[in-house]
Amino acid sequence: MRRCLAVAALAPMAFGGLAAAQPTPAAPVLQIPPAAAPPAPLPPPAPVEVPALTPAQVQTALAIMRAADLHGLQPKSYVPDGVPDSGVLSPAQQVAFADGLVRYAHDVHIGRMDAAAFPELWAVRPAAYDPSADLVKALAEGRLQAWLDSLPPRYSGYAALRRGLAHYREIAANGGWKPIPEGKPLGLGAKDPRAAALRARLAAEDPLVPATGAGFDKPLQEAVQRAQRRFGLNPDGVAGREVVAYLNQPVGQRILQIVANMERWRWLPSAMPATRVQVNSGAAIVTLFRDDKPVLSMKAVSGRPGDETPMLMSAIHSVVINPPWNVPMGIAEKELWPKEKARPGYLAAHGYRIIPVEGGAPRLQQASGDDSALGRFKFDFDNPFAVYLHDTPSKGGFDRFSRQASHGCVRLAKPRELAEALLAGDAKWTPEAIDTQLEGDKTVRAPLAAKVPVFIFYWTAFAGTDGQMQFRSDPYDWDRDLLQRVGVLTPKVQVAAKS
């Protein structure tokens, strides 16, 4: 396996569910893909026949299906041709209309992808859902509107994307924005005539940009900095090649990016545990939530393209202090053995020891300590990819604004703070006890009194604290891949900027 491998002497528990990790009885039980072969599928439920809808019910459903684009869906996929506004349908139209309504309910609730179409690394997957029985019940109880309104995700992040989708479609309807001509970087005081084009482009998304100004003035510099923060770039206030490339992306590409991220929200359970660790591998950010509020956030380094950090749901069950690193064979063969060959003594100088394996190639283990690739902390959770969160001696990676650089695991900028937060209340593992343990290199595992759910997502479009849409560069090309899989894009269409 090409992922970060767990230490053999401290192997994690068998992969399982999150039932024991719930912070309150009301928290949802999450379904996690098993590490081993899944059980035999259950037989499909008996088909449910949907009764004929009344004209009023048809009109209610028709209005919602025609507005499917508000959820990033395509109304033509659900509304049969020739359905009259009166809602009076022939028997054949009734069958086609009910079929479209069931498909809309399914797609807006759990997404458009079949379970078999999910790539291995997209392990955040929705539970199967057949809306037919719920539709029949809603029709019988006279609450079709309320049922349909309840189907989309209830998360604030999804609602923010809905608002963003409407806003960017309005921009597109008004003609979009004009690209900024190429040229040298623009900074404070520049008299370049392109400053006017830059101002107009920024104003298309940012309501705080003044309509007029004298060249590249202070308000324009501040507007550039806000845009750079929205794109996850260094907010130096200079409109160089990178920020201009982001700004010159057509509005249609931003709309597609929002649609892709709305689709991912549908894969999540209807509610997440109030206490959880949430990882955004697309933006390389890790956040700890308590009572559903962020209490600790930090930069991270996620997997590089080719070693992508998988999307998954699990639960952190322990913190390993002073972890050694069992080097995956692929990393050893591609990176470390060549270094030893080029500079004999490299492995010993960096704390590696060679462990003979009877009948096979020797493996490498790096001793615990400040120079260990895992740093001083590792956070273990069961998953079939052998990935985890961990410390790192390479602190400079957090200063970058594109932070997809690991072999698949997630490196943390504040591992000590996360360890203390997860172990808070444990009489054995006080901050002073952690300090004492860190004085040496002895490896210990600190089990959590209650497992803490961890969610690793891939978000490239989301709303910031100011309500403005933020975009990332789709480092894994997963936005484009997803939109192709649900039929929105053909393979020849690009989705997001690559910078």
Is the pLDDT reported for residue 324 higher than 90? Answer: no
Lowest mean pLDDT among 97-111, 166-180, 201-215, 445-459: 201-215
Lowest mean pLDDT among 23-32, 180-189, 256-265, 275-284: 23-32
For the record, the structure tokens of 104 come out as 């809309």
For the record, the structure tokens of 236 come out as 């130096």
Could you tell me the end-to-end alpha-carbon distance of the chain, in angstroms, rounded to an integer? 29
Residue, of 489 and 139, whose pLDDT is higher: 139
Is the pLDDT reported for residue 267 higher than 70? Answer: yes
**pTM, 2 dp:** 0.84
* 12 vs 454: CA distance, rounded Å: 15
Is the pLDDT reported for residue 32 higher than 60? Answer: no
- How many CA atoms within 13 Å lie on the side-chain side of 367? 13
* Inter-CA distances, 101 with 66, 148, 184, Å: 11, 10, 54
Is the pLDDT reported for residue 318 higher than 70? Answer: yes
Count CB atoms within 10 A of the CB of residue 114: 10
pLDDT in tens, 63-102: 999 999 999 999 999 999 999 999 999 999 999 999 999 9
Residues near 185 by Cβ (< 8 Å), separated by ≥ 6? 238, 239, 240, 241
Nearest to 462 by CA among 309, 261, 206: 261
Q: For 404, phi and psi rounded to 5 degrees? A: -105, 95
The amino acid present at 239, given as its one-letter code, is: A
User: Can you give the pLDDT at residue 21?
Assistant: 32
* Inter-CA distances, 55 with 52, 67, 83, 357, Å: 9, 18, 11, 74
Give 237-262 as a 3 state SS string: CCECHHHHHHHCCCHHHHHHHHHHHH
* 243 vs 228: CA distance, rounded Å: 7
- All structural domains of the chain: 8-21+271-461 (2.40.440.10), 55-152 (no CATH), 177-249 (1.10.101.10)
User: Can you give the pLDDT at residue 9?
Assistant: 35
- How many CA atoms within 13 Å lie on the side-chain side of 281? 32
Which residue do the tokens 């963003």 mark? 164
**Would you state the torsion angle of the CA atoms of residues 221, 227, 230, 231, taken in this order, to the nearest 10 degrees?**
-110
Is the pLDDT reported for residue 451 higher than 70? Answer: yes
User: Can you give the pLDDT at residue 168?
Assistant: 97
Residue, of 319 and 49, whose pLDDT is higher: 319
pLDDT in tens, 365-419: 777 778 788 889 999 999 999 899 999 988 888 888 889 999 899 999 999 999 9
DSSP 8-state assignment for residue 311: B
User: Can you give the pLDDT at residue 40?
Assistant: 53
User: Can you give the pLDDT at residue 59?
Assistant: 98
* 227 vs 240: CA distance, rounded Å: 12
Of the pLDDT bands very low, low, confident and very high (cuts 50, 70, 90), residue 356 is confident
What integer is the mean pLDDT of 453-467?
94
DSSP calls for 259-303: HHHHHHHTTS-SS--SSEEEEETTTTEEEEEETTEEEEEEEEEEE
CB 282 within 8 A of CB 458: yes
User: Can you give the pLDDT at residue 353?
Assistant: 78
Please give the share of the chain, as a percent, with pLDDT higher than 90.
71
Is the pLDDT reported for residue 22 higher than 70? Answer: no
The amino acid present at 410, given as its one-letter code, is: V
DSSP 8-state assignment for residue 345: T
Mean pLDDT, all residues of the chain = 87
Of the pLDDT bands very low, low, confident and very high (cuts 50, 70, 90), residue 28 is very low
CB burial class (10 A; 0-12, 13-18, 19+) of residue 360?
exposed
